[in-house]
A = this chain, B = another copy of it.
């Protein structure tokens, strides 16, 4: 399969494919001569994956590159599967959890930390996702959306059942597990977001005109 055929198969222009090759998002094809390389199904899949991560997952190319690298050679030993996933998605911003400076204040933990603790969630208080939750929660406050602890608890219940399903679907084999976790973290979020909007519609309609 030549590059033009790959372009046709994926719906991505030849120029863009060359760009992906240059950027290291797409592995080179088998070189047949100086002006010909052979691409196969793995290239088609890769291109589709890159587009999926970008268009649906909303990742930029730098993050996509890290995600692909993580999948290619997962560094499970060092930080575990979830750690590897998180590091690939955070990039520069990722701080090795042991290296975290002594900024942690056990006397006045953030709202997210208190919430997680109260819930009995066993989470390292240095986990940066806790800061994400604080930021998102604060943003809701700034917008005047009342998200009190009760509502947050209901959300946490729901996400916990989601997480059980997610974890149950992770393969035992480490490399496949990393792949599933990294891609699942990114690509299932949009699925859940769409389902939530649809559920809004359904619930709203059902309240107006209850099902007979």
**In the complex the two chains form, what is the Cα distance from A60 to B116 in whole Å?**
31
Copies held by the complex: 2
Which B residues are in CB contact (< 8 Å) with A163? Answer: 196, 199-200, 202-203
Which B residues are in CB contact (< 8 Å) with A199? Answer: 121, 156, 159-160, 162-163
Does chain B have a CB within 8 A of A144?
Answer: yes
Interface residues contributed by chain A, number (CB under 8 Å): 82
**Chain B, residue nearest A86 (CB):** B197
Does chain B have a CB within 8 A of A75?
Answer: no
0/1 interface trace, chain A 122-140, chain B, CB 8 Å (1 if under): 1110010110110111111
**Mostly helix, strand, loop or mixed at chain A's interface?**
helix
A-B contact pairs, 7 of them (CB 8 A): A49-B142, A127-B198, A127-B201, A136-B193, A140-B191, A154-B161, A155-B162
Which B residues are in CB contact (< 8 Å) with A136? Answer: 56, 187, 190-191, 193-194
**Chain B, residue nearest A205 (CB):** B122
